[in-house]
Amino acid sequence: MKGTRIRDAIFIASIVFAVTILAVPTLLGALGHMPPVDVRTIAIKYLNNTYNPFNQSIWTSSPEAVAAIVWDYRGLDTLFETAVFYSAIIAALALYREILGKKDTLEGRGLSIIVQRSTAISMVGILVVGFATILHGQLTPGGGFQGGAIAAVTSVVAIVVFSRLFIDRSRLSYKHLLVIRNTALVGIALTAIIPLIFQLFSNQTTFIFQNQGKAMSGFSYPHTIADAPMGGSIWFYNLFEGLAVVSAFSLAMIIVFYSEELSRKTIEGEESGF
């Protein structure tokens, strides 16, 4: 009892100390103006070049500077980031390799009919918001990963509210999700190397991960469709990344929500090595 009281006192004292040490310098203006009042030179450079129809030699045709940096200026970074994310998902799937794609033994019925109906209505809304974020990634904040994470909440809510049996019986099966994820990843790779394929059939020099035409190469993705800025390859990257994230998160959640009887099989015999 005495031990817990001392521990609580230390805990409260350390919280107060941490808050004070952060709050006092902030109040005294150690971080400068909050929010900042000036624009840094690198930001000015990006803002001038990202969507500048009057100087199309170095533009990205995407009004959203963050999306342009993520998928055009720093496109290769994002490609490897995606590779890291999918390595993690594949590792999680490999842990459950013996039961992947199997039907769950538990016959759950889910929550009550009122919850199920109201969830079915709001699930449509979540999906619409998610896909709007994906498809407008070149115009508004957000993009493939953000929209994919929003849309993937639908599958998690569906597992909790409608039970796992519902997912097993629906078309959202393990195999279909795997096909969607692999198609989307191939799509990302293809969008990156389509400029090189284009080079085979023409005499122009092109670059990997090229979006808009440069001074020495004429290849461009379509930059406007019906007066709407499409951001060239950024739209395609966002679409494929979004689809891949939705399917990968859904896969991970589906294996996590296996019943204990089935998921226990994966750790059987670990004393004799994995």
Name the CA dihedral angle for 209, 188, 226, 212, rounded to a multiple of 10 degrees: 0
Assess 1 for contact with other proteins (CB under 8 A): no
In 3D space, the residue among 243, 38, 250 whose CA is nearest the CA of residue 134 turns out to be 243
Check if the beta carbon of residue 208 is closer than 8 Å to that of residue 193: yes
Instruction: Name the phi and psi angles at 217, rounded to 5.
Output: -145, 135
> Binding other proteins by CB under 8 A: which of 149, 165, 194, 196?
149
Rounded to whole angstroms, how far apart are CA atoms 59 and 49?
Answer: 5
> Binding other proteins by CB under 8 A: which of 145, 219, 221, 236?
145
Check if the beta carbon of residue 206 is closer than 8 Å to that of residue 198: yes
C-beta of 49: minimal distance to other proteins in Å?
Answer: 20
CB within 8 Å of 135: residues ≥ 6 apart: 147, 235, 238, 239
> Binding other proteins by CB under 8 A: which of 24, 256, 261, 267?
256
| Interacting span for other proteins (CB under 8 A) from 104-112, 150-158, 211-219, 220-228 | 150-158
Q: Binding marks (x or -) toward other proteins, 208..247, rule CB under 8 A?
A: ----------------------------------------
Q: Binding marks (x or -) toward other proteins, 56..95, rule CB under 8 A?
A: ----------x-----------------------------
Assess 25 for contact with other proteins (CB under 8 A): no
Taking the least distance from each CB to other proteins, the nearer of 175 and 264 is: 264
> Binding other proteins by CB under 8 A: which of 15, 120, 124, 208?
15
Assess 150 for contact with other proteins (CB under 8 A): yes
Q: Within positions 28 to 47, which residues make up the interface with other proteins, using CB under 8 A?
A: 33-35, 37
Count of residues in contact with other proteins, rule CB under 8 A:
28
> Binding other proteins by CB under 8 A: which of 60, 62, 78, 133?
133
> Binding other proteins by CB under 8 A: which of 68, 72, 96, 152?
152
Residues at the site binding other proteins, with contacts judged by CB under 8 A? 8, 11, 15, 19, 33-35, 37, 66, 133, 141-143, 145-147, 149-150, 152-153, 156-157, 160, 249, 253, 256-257, 260
